[in-house]
Amino acid sequence: MNEIKFHKVCRINELRENEGRRFIVPASDGSDDEVEIALFKAEGEIYALSNICPHQHTALIYDGFIEDGCVVCPAHGWKFDLKTGNQPTGRKGLDVYPIKIEKDEIMVAAHSKKFYW
């Protein structure tokens, strides 16, 4: 079984409460792919999600605003739960990625994903 590989993204103090940041990280699955993620700090918790909105395929999730535990895409207003990536309707929305904190460093394991749109 392959161990999940985490990659350093930034320090905790580089994130502002209720604001997102965009990062491109190596895929954790051993492929040569890179993954575009949106990293958020909300109510003291850190969340890592795909930065690509499935609606119009815009890479703007990091620029969304936080409302009721969701990030709202700035392009068209779609909402995604920070913990699950799902839309409030229950429909799947964004991939979420595991994180861990080591000595104030945020580490993310983001799997590669092929888009077919």
CA distances from 55 to 6, 8, 16, 26, 65 (A): 28, 29, 26, 24, 17
- Asked, for residue 82, whether it belongs to a domain, the answer is yes
- Asked, for residue 26, whether it belongs to a domain, the answer is yes
Which residue segment(s) compose the domain that 89 sits in?
A: 7-108
- The pTM score is 0.90
Q: Structural domain tally of the chain?
A: 1
- Asked, for residue 18, whether it belongs to a domain, the answer is yes
- Asked, for residue 1, whether it belongs to a domain, the answer is no
- Asked, for residue 114, whether it belongs to a domain, the answer is no
Residue 116 has pLDDT above 50, yes or no: no
Report the CATH number at residue 52: 2.102.10.10
- Asked, for residue 14, whether it belongs to a domain, the answer is yes
- Asked, for residue 115, whether it belongs to a domain, the answer is no
Instruction: Give 51's pLDDT tier (boundaries 50, 70, 90).
Output: very high
d(CA 35, CA 44): 24
d(CA 92, CA 87): 6
